[in-house]
Amino acid sequence: MAGRGRARAIRAHIVLKGPGGSLASGRPVSAANVRDYAADPSVRGRVRSILEQHGFSVVRVAPFSIAVEGPRALFERVFRKKLRRMRPEASGELFWSWSEPPEIPAELSDAVDTVVFPQPVQPLP
């Protein structure tokens, strides 16, 4: 079986903090304030570098988040929480989730709000 014995890469989004906070904060976002949530390019570069130093592969850097890939053990070591597989009843597709909120390392805490995983999306009827 291909890939057996090798750690599979998991994709996640590192949610960045802008001057107004992060998109994960739950505060209302509008066309008038969306730029307040964008991280400065220098912050994005610093976070990217730190994530790569930890061993993550950076897939994409955007104003609000950085998409990374890495094995389960890497996520659990860096963010000091366990991952689990979830299966929503609606789609039945497995996706990754934290067993409890991740701990953001001190070197990233000023720039990173949280780490989230893509979830299955149900097509519209």
Longest distance between any two alpha carbons in the chain, whole Å: 52
Residue 54 — φ and ψ, nearest 5°? -75, -15
Residue 39: CB atoms within 10 Å? 25
**In DSSP terms, which residues pair with 70 in a beta bridge?**
10
Q: Is the dihedral of CA 51, 78, 115, 4 positive or negative?
A: positive
Q: What would the pLDDT profile of 22-43 be if each residue is shown by its tens digit? A: 888 888 889 999 999 999 999 9
The full set of domain ranges for the chain reads 9-116
DSSP state of 32: T
Instruction: Provide the whole-model pTM.
Output: 0.85
Model confidence at 119, pLDDT cuts 50, 70, 90, reads confident
